[in-house]
A and B are shown apart, each in its own frame.
Chain A
Amino acid sequence: MSTTLHLGTRKGHFAIEKNGSGWRVARSSFLGVQVPMLLPDARDNKLYAAVEHGHFGTKMHVSSDGGATWEERACPAYPSKPEGTPDILCPMRQTPIPWNLEKIWSLEAGGADEPGVLWCGTIPGGLFKSTDGGATWNLVESLWNRPERAKWFGGGYDWPGIHSICVDPRNSKRVVLAISCGGVWETLDGGETWDRYGKGLFADFMPPGEEEDLDGQDPHRIDACVSDPDTVWMQHHCGIFRSKDGGRTWQRFENGNPAVFGFAVAVHPQKPETAWFVPGVKDDMRVPVNGALCVMRTQDDGKTFEPLRKGLPQEHAYHLIYRHCLDVTPDGRTLAMGSTTGSVWLSEDGGESWTRLSAELPPVFSVRFEKAGP
């Protein structure tokens, strides 16, 4: 079982370790600076951190000792905008989409057979790939130049962003990613070409007749089952969906208990029929239903969903669990989640019961276990 949990927060990185007396905050890094995304790379035990300075932009740092010491690496940067290239305007607000890195919103390792390959999803919607462990990054122009990008728009932030990147463990060239708002995309050739999918997704917020437009979908987060990557669960702005064909087609579930709105989703690494969510009141409220925090689990492929409340606050609790703030260990037993109000909980029984590790941390943006290498 993993014994280190990494948190990226509004005020830095925190490592939480398990020792004889339980889990405790062991150390911090970049104190005072936003850390929107972390990646513990199981292939070589490197830890990557996106560090977002309020004034001086985002930088990438890497650690070889679990966050005790860091060195700055190259950060994904958009290439010079070619002279004469017209701006793409946000379809909602008619303002130009930036050609600058606004935020690193996802960071994933390539396959076990691709040492050094890293994927980075950003706001305003650019995907970056590194083949040298983050020494250099290149914008994946095959996706950035797709004409459909003109229809993408901001969901969680002002500009569209890539928040979920799923590398197929069976075939590292196959990558499925999700964009808020811009739907679900797949490459079968390591990023050379892309197709967009999403039949069955439904965006209630779109104008009548446009609800099934693939480019207007707002997946909040997708997660593929490690042992069955064709099973992908999605927490969408308009509910919960699940695909059994790698993201091409989706089934909608409206039987969430207590709700189908939320941001985070985690899939059991060995059991594709099991997934966890953190439900909330849609969508202008974004608080736990009745002020009672719960994690919601299905163990029967969506036939039923059950709220798991033991150990979680049930009165006047207004925690929001962002999309990258729920993680599960490879054995499917240990889960962790962090909230916008600086609480972190851990469950060592598949979500049945939870223990609060801290209520004193900054707002949490990213929760990731160190996972054992291959």
Chain B
Amino acid sequence: MSMIEKSYSLRLRMLTRSAFLLLSIFLILSIGVWHYAREASNYSYDRLLNSASLSIMEGLHVYGKKVDLDLPYAAFEMMQLAAQDKVFYQVLGTQGELITGYVDMPLFEKLKGESHLKFYNAHYLSEDVRVVVRHKRLSEPAVSGWVTVVLAHTLIARQQMMNDILYRSFAVLLGIMVFVMIVLWVAINRALEPLSSISKTLVSHSVLSAEPIQSTPIQEVFPLVKAINDYQAQLLSNLASMKRFIADASHQIRTAQSSTQAQLDIASQSKNVDELPEYLSKIREEHVRLTRLTNQLLTHAMVVHRGDTKIIEEMNVEVIMKQLLTECVRDNAHRMIDFSYQCEQALPLVMGDPISLREAVRNLLENAVYYGPEQNQIEIFLQSNSRSLDIIIDDAGPGIPNELRDKAKARFQRLANDLNGSGLGLSIVASVAEAHGGAFFLEDSPLGGLRTRIHLTIGSALC
């Protein structure tokens, strides 16, 4: 088993995860907004810059052989929209000579081909500026060639506009996020509500009451409630069968005990010493029966417990069978019983619980001896193919009539009252076979008695 994970709040986890997701979305959107704000402010102020440079270009005149500039103030008026911004300009003649303006304006590399206009960012006089370069071809008879107007504008106004757009957008985005988080909080609480209501119901609900938990109209929660109710029903049914078992067992034990008690009482009342041996032998008989019953009950409990806990190991069925048969022969050497052992081929190793299997087969051998005639014949026969293994025990006893065979395998079903059977032996065998994923059969023996067959499947045992 892996270690149990540290406890955590589902609500908190869902909230932090959605907050994290929202934050990522916010970051991506912010980059977009920032980009848009920059583009927008550039676009509007570039248009101003463009018009200003155009009007400067309009102010260029040719006087004789010289190009001269009549600087239109309207151009600078346009640039005055932002009070703190500075404007720099430079006008170059056809030979590239300075006509007017700042000498060392950063000139973009020569404009190529047909383009007349170029915007770019630059650094000038320790300030970031946006520059526009504009070309115009003069074709007067005296002067012909390209003249250039360079106009630069500091970025304060642009920055302000950009920040303005950014702050507004951020405010809206944040508002949406907070709103979404609130909606999520409410939704998560609402979604988790059935969970806490079910646990509240469970706390006040007794497991042993036959009353199931009230069903819910919520489709998603319905399977949980159903699972809890099914579990409870299973528990109750197990409990009921356990109660039946205890009732049956105590009935059997008390019956044996009270007849022993009765014989003891009669014996102690009896004044005739000659009668004592008879009472004693009856007491002994009852006691033997009680001992056998106790042993069977404990074996039954052990087998069921081991079946439930699924104890498995590799077992060599041949070795187990030989040991059991040897014990059985040793204990019954004084009887006229013919034993035989037959195993046709080497048996594969089977996965299972050797202790339970041993108890099961021991029960079958004991039964064969106990219920059989004095001149009995008991044969163990092991048979296997690639998928299954059969442990067959034949006897020459009276057998069990066909119609009583199912009854014989049930718990506390004694077929004959006068015998010392506990009614548990065959049910122990059936439990063991079942725990091994196999089956237990009662059949006709070729020897004329009963054939008991434990059928084990190889490979799928106890899975």
Q: Do A and B come from one complex?
A: no
By a beta-carbon cutoff of 8 Å, the part of chain A in contact with chain B is: none
**Chain B residues proximal to chain A, CB less than 8 Å:** none
